[in-house]
Amino acid sequence: MLWPMIAIALGFLGIAVLGILAVRVFVEVRRLARQVGQTSARIQRAAEDLERAATPLAARAHESGRD
């Protein structure tokens, strides 16, 4: 009777450990997703800034090519 109780206790502890690890993974995935979203927004803003900065340069290059 002792061995089945030990097996049940170990099985329960194993499931509890897996549950705790699953919660930790879930929290880290949410944190990573938030960081990816913030970084994506920063990249988008930088691309827009680059486009705004390049527009006058492209216009000047186009005009100097006509001459």
**Residue 67's pLDDT is what?**
56
Judged on CB neighbours under 10 Å (0-12, 13-18, 19+), 38 is: exposed
Say how far apart CA 60 and CA 34 lie, in whole Å: 40
**Residue 65's pLDDT is what?**
66
Six-digit token string for 36: 């990816």
Cα within 13 Å of Cα(4), Cβ side? 1
Q: For residue range 10-65, list pLDDT tens digits in order.
A: 999 999 999 999 999 999 999 999 999 999 999 999 999 999 998 888 778 777 76
Say how far apart CA 65 and CA 48 lie, in whole Å: 25
